[in-house]
């Protein structure tokens, strides 16, 4: 639902700007808003009471300013919960000023989405009300600015920003130049903490990153690691907020569609002659991987695993197409890394091509890149796709790449480190075990080994690593959400009525559909299994009124709508994850798929001439009760 209004006020844009950037002044112009509280820079809390048909509802809101372009535009997001917690509202707001012949033209819009019980009931009523809400906002605005302090303010006292040269303060974007720019932005937001005290890589980084991830804490920059020559940053994209911020996307419910929009057209990389990643060189006997990253990420790991966020870049021997993938790497000697890429990965399939031809495979491994390259490296795609083209599309700008010393394989020019070398054919070494994203230790395997022949890096480089573990973690989030978006794109293109999709790293996919015909949910399951690349074990299909971003809502559908003999589909002996802990070593690589149709069986009710059951939510009674009792209910949060 969109509330939209354009109106004129007889003041200069600078005066109106001061008014709209003061929450105490502008807030009460929103119909029903009260109790404004400033809770941080660009963050406010407020209450709103609205009447939706016969219902009176009270919401607690948090407002965050996401972008300010003085003195012409303020963008903000409002997120709120209805007092009974039965409904959620999100609104994306724009206030835009432009000079007019008699003052300033103000454009106000608020794109409101309501989920939950009130959404089901109240949406139609609110839609009808949208026009009058916009008009009321304009009326309040004109009245308040007339009596407001900003009018009396000496324009010298608060410097008025100039119209053309105003700075843009963005709360998130996608075209980061490098990891350092992203780290600076995190530090400014209080989301990066420097640890300058010496830490022991045998256990302290493990402990600190574990606690940091569990607490959904900041990124951690270890400036002084015993025995290592370089600092290391970890937990970089360890929270949902940082992941979304790195792409300049506000919320998960926008994410899949935004990914599709951006990747409609791929943007190929731009080759440049030189890049900061080649400022310094380490070669020959000076190569000692233990001095670059000597972290033992988990207590029972088989040793040091520097490559938790090393992107292996290879070139197909047969088609010349680049591939990028993150595969675990175990330090086996000063210059050798065990390479944990299972047979179903595209990197390993490139290696098979070289091995069949009895040739060494050249490979470049990079780490310390801008966050979109991080995401791109973990994205599961169809075969034969150069992920750097997707990365460019996600950033909205080509990635600058420079030829590496590994047979000229291009690497992102602003990477902190590049490891150049080869993987020899028909050679295997034992690498692992290692603590994995499954939350379990993964077994040791006999795998190919990467021989590092040269390392290049930036001046004063910063290593990038990750403690892999189950959620919350960057290893599950980045791998899971990038692959989710690609899977959604595919499933949506194969089957109609697919509205949204939520996946964890690779085990579960929840798909929201607008059910169109009997068998529709099962067709979606088949599309997920046959058309995507993450080998999701469990696929759950829900109706369009279920909020898939709230697990309680999904569990409600699972608990109530499912009749097991009819709604559960089992497909044994399908290709699975090497690391699936439900499968013993003997059967590794296989999995059994389960699909659950958790949509309401409306078609059966209809066939028998019956009505589907009615939802219990009683929003009118809840609102009426809150109106009378709200202040007296001591257990409720304000
Ligand atoms: C921190 C992190 C660690 C990962 N480690 C591995 C790994 O050890 N082995 C693996 O097969 N995939 C791993 N992945 C997932 C792959 O990088 C991802 O599936 C990627 O799409 C593989 O590239 P490919 O599809 O081109 O083969 C990891 C992902 C992340 C974010």
Say which CATH number the domain at 12 has: 3.30.530.20
459 and 510 in a common domain? no
How many angstroms separate the alpha carbon of residue 326 from the centre of ligand 1? 4
**593 & 533 share domain:** yes
Mark whether 237 and 332 lie in a shared domain: yes
What stretch of H or E contains 624? helix 619-629
Question: What's the whole-number mean pLDDT along residues 39-54?
Answer: 78
Q: Looking at the CA of residue 342, tell me the nearest atom of ligand 1.
A: 11
Pairing of strands 322-326, 311-315: antiparallel
The CATH number that applies at residue 549 is 3.40.1670.10
Q: Is the pLDDT of residue 168 over 70?
A: no
How would residue 53 be classed by pLDDT, with cut points 50, 70 and 90?
Answer: low
User: Do 517 and 457 sit in the same domain of this protein?
Assistant: no
Do 436 and 295 lie in a common domain?
yes
Q: Is the pLDDT of residue 124 over 80?
A: no
Cα dihedral value 382, 385, 387, 393, nearest 10: -100
For the chain, the average pLDDT equals: 91
Centroid of ligand 1 to alpha carbon of 201 (angstroms):
24
Chain segment 55-98, per-residue pLDDT in tens: 677 888 888 887 787 888 888 888 888 766 667 777 878 899 98
Ligand 1 in reach of 342 Cβ (< 6 A) = yes
Q: Which of 35, 576, 624, 3 is nearest to 344 (CA)?
A: 576
Instruction: Give yes or no for residue 484 CB within 6 A of ligand 1.
Output: no
Where helices occur in 568-614 by DSSP H, the ranges are: 602-607
Query: Which of 235, 246, 326, 434 is the best mutation target for the ligand 1 pocket, counting ligand atoms within 8 Å of the beta carbon and taking the most?
Result: 326
Q: How far is the CA of 505 from the centre of ligand 1 (A)?
A: 10
**Binding site membership of 367 for ligand 1 (Cβ less than 6 Å):** no
Please indicate, yes or no, if residue 171 is contained in any of the structural domains. no
Answer whether 325 contacts ligand 1 (Cβ < 6 A).
yes
pLDDT score of 637: 66
Same domain, 390 and 273: yes
Nearest CA to ligand 1 atom 10: 327
State how beta strands 417-423 and 400-403 pair: unpaired
Total count of domains within the chain: 3
Ligand 1 neighbourhood includes 467 CB (under 6 angstroms): no
- For residues 375 and 505, state if they share a domain: no
- Is the distance from the beta carbon of residue 506 to the nearest atom of ligand 1 less than 6 Å? no
Q: How far is CA 468 from the centre of its chain?
A: 17
Query: Residue 516 pLDDT more than 70?
Result: yes
Residue having the nearest C-alpha atom to atom 17 of ligand 1: 326
Residue 483 alpha carbon, nearest atom of ligand 1: 21
Say whether pLDDT at 287 is over 80: yes
The verdict on 269 and 366 lying in the same domain is yes
Is 378's C-beta closer than 6 angstroms to any atom of ligand 1?
A: yes
Q: Is residue 172 part of a domain?
A: no
Ligand 1 pocket residue status of 415, Cβ below 6 Å: no
Atom 30 in ligand 1: residue holding the nearest Cα: 475
The pLDDT value given to residue 353:
98
Domain span at 281: 179-464
Find out whether the peptide bond into 37 is cis, omega within 30 degrees of 0. Answer: no
Instruction: Give the pLDDT of residue 332.
Output: 98
CA of 327 to the centre of ligand 1 (A): 5
pLDDT tens across 338-376, in order?
A: 999 999 999 999 999 999 999 999 999 999 999 999 999
pLDDT reported for residue 605: 95
Q: Specify the CATH number for the domain of residue 306.
A: 2.30.110.10
Please give the structure tokens belonging to residue 217.
Answer: 């804490």
* Residue that wins the pLDDT comparison between 236 and 4: 236
Atom 5 of ligand 1: nearest residue by CA position: 327
**Residue 624 domain-assigned (yes or no):** no
User: Could you tell me the pLDDT band of residue 117, with boundaries at 50, 70 and 90?
Assistant: low
Measured between alpha carbons, how far is 633 from 475 in angstroms, rounded to an integer? 42
In a domain? residue 636: no
- CA 375 – ligand 1 centroid, Å: 11
**CA gap 363, 360 in Å, rounded:** 9
305 in contact with ligand 1, CB cutoff 6 A = no
155 or 483, which is more confident: 483
Whole-number pLDDT of residue 155: 44
Atom of ligand 1 nearest to the CA of 479: 31
Residue 186 predicted with pLDDT over 80: yes
The answer, yes or no, to whether residue 166 has pLDDT greater than 80, is no
First to last CA, the chain: 27
Cβ of 561 less than 6 Å from ligand 1? no
Quote the pLDDT of residue 163.
26
Calculate the dihedral angle through the C-alpha atoms of 210, 215, 217, 223, rounding to the nearest 10 degrees: -30
pLDDT-based confidence at residue 160 (cuts at 50, 70, 90): very low
Whether 118 is in the pocket of ligand 1, judged by its Cβ within 6 Å, is no
Provide CB contacts within 8 A for 118, sequence distance 6+: 52, 55, 57, 82, 86, 87, 619
Predicted confidence (pLDDT) at residue 169 exceeds the cutoff of 80: no
Residue 538 · residue 594 · CB < 8 Å: yes
pLDDT at 479 over 90: yes
Q: What pLDDT sits at residue 152?
A: 60
User: How much is the average pLDDT of 490-502?
Assistant: 98
Q: Are residues 101 and 215 in the same domain?
A: no
432, part of any domain: yes
Average pLDDT over every residue of 201-211: 98
Closest CA to 187 of 228, 223, 230: 223
Same domain, 211 and 134: no
The reply to whether 623 falls in a domain is: no
Instruction: Give the pLDDT mean for 437-453.
Output: 97
How far apart (Å, rounded) are the C-alpha atoms in residues 483 and 533? 8
Ligand 1, residues 378, 440, 463, 588: which to mutate, most atoms within 8 A of Cβ?
378
For residue 2, report the distance from its CA to the centre of ligand 1, in Å.
41
Checking if the pLDDT of 165 tops 60, the result is no
Domain assignment of residue 473, yes or no? no
Q: How far is the CA of 119 from the centre of ligand 1 (A)?
A: 39
- Please tell me whether residues 249 and 387 are part of one structural domain: yes
pLDDT at 493 over 90: yes
H helices, E strands: number in the chain: 17, 32
Q: What percent of the chain has pLDDT over 90?
A: 74
pLDDT the model gives residue 164: 28
The tens digit of pLDDT for each residue in 15-45 reads: 899 889 888 888 889 888 888 888 877 888 8
- My answer on whether 459 and 525 are in the same domain is no
C-beta 309 within 6 A of ligand 1? yes
Asked if the structure places residue 551 within a domain, the reply is: yes
Determine the pLDDT at residue 617: 85
Q: What is the CA(346)–ligand 1 centre distance, in A?
A: 10
């Amino acid at each position: 639902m969109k509330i939209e209004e354009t109106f004129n006020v007889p003041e200069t844009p600078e005066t109106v700007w001061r008014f709209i950037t003061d929450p105490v002044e502008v807030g009460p112009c929103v119909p029903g808003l009260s109790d404004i509280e400033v809770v941080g820079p660009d963050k406010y809390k407020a209450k709103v009471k609205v009447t939706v048909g016969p219902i009176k509802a009270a919401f607690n809101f948090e407002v965050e300013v996401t972008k300010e372009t003085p003195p012409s535009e303020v963008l903000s997001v409002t997120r709120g919960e209805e007092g009974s917690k039965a409904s959620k509202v999100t609104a994306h707001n724009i206030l835009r000023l432009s000079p007019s012949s008699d003052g300033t033209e103000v454009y106000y819009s608020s794109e409101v989405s309501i989920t939950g019980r009130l959404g089901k009931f109240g949406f139609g009523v609110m839609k009808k009300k949208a026009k009058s809400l916009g008009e009321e906002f304009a009326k309040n605005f004109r009245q308040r600015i007339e009596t407001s302090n900003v009018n009396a303010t000496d324009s010298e006292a608060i410097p008025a920003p100039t119209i053309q040269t105003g700075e843009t303060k963005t709360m998130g974007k996608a075209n980061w130049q490098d990891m350092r720019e992203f780290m600076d932005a995190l530090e400014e937001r209080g989301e990066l903490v420097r640890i300058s005290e010496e830490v022991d890589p045998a256990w302290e980084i493990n402990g600190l990153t574990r606690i940091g991830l569990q607490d959904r804490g900041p990124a951690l920059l270890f400036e002084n690691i015993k025995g290592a020559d370089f600092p290391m940053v970890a937990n970089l994209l360890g929270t949902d907020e940082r992941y979304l911020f790195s792409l300049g996307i506000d919320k998960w419910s926008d994410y899949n569609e935004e990914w599709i929009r951006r990747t409609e057209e791929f943007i190929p990389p731009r080759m440049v002659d030189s890049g900061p990643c080649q400022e310094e060189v380490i070669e020959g006997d000076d190569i000692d991987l233990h001095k670059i990253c000597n972290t033992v990420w988990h207590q029972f790991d088989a040793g040091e695993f520097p490559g938790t966020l090393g992107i292996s870049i290879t070139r197909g021997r047969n088609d010349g197409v680049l591939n990028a993938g993150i595969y675990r790497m175990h330090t086996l000697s000063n210059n050798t890394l065990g390479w944990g890429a299972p047979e179903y990965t595209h990197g390993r399939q490139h290696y098979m091509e070289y091995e069949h031809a009895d040739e060494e495979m050249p490979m470049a491994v990079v780490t310390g890149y801008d966050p979109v390259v991080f995401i791109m490296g973990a994205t599961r795609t169809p075969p034969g796709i150069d992920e750097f083209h997707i990365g460019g599309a996600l950033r909205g700008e080509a990635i600058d790449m420079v030829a590496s010393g590994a047979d000229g394989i291009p690497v992102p020019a602003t990477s902190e480190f590049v490891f150049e070398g080869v993987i020899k054919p028909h050679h295997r070494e034992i690498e692992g075990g290692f603590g994995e994203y499954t939350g379990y230790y993964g077994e040791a395997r006999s795998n190919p080994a990467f021989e590092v022949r040269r390392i290049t890096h930036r001046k004063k480089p910063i290593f990038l690593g990750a403690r892999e573990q189950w959620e919350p973690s960057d290893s599950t989030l980045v791998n899971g959400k990038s692959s989710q978006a690609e899977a959604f794109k595919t499933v949506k293109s194969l089957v109609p009525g697919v509205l949204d999709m939520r996946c964890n790293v690779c085990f579960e996919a929840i798909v929201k559909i607008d059910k169109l015909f009997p068998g529709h949910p099962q067709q979606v399951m088949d599309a997920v299994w046959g058309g995507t690349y993450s080998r999701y074990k469990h696929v759950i299909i829900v109706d369009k009124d279920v909020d898939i971003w709230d697990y309680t809502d999904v569990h409600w559908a699972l608990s109530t709508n499912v009749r097991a003999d009819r709604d559960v589909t089992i497909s044994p002996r399908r290709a699975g994850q090497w690391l699936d802990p439900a499968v013993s070593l003997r059967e590794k690589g296989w999995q059994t798929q389960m699909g659950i149709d958790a949509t309401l069986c409306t078609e059966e009710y209809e066939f028998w001439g019956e009505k589907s059951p009615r939802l219990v939510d009683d929003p009118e009674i809840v609102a009426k009760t809150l109106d009378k009792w709200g202040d007296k209910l001591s257990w409720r949060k304000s």
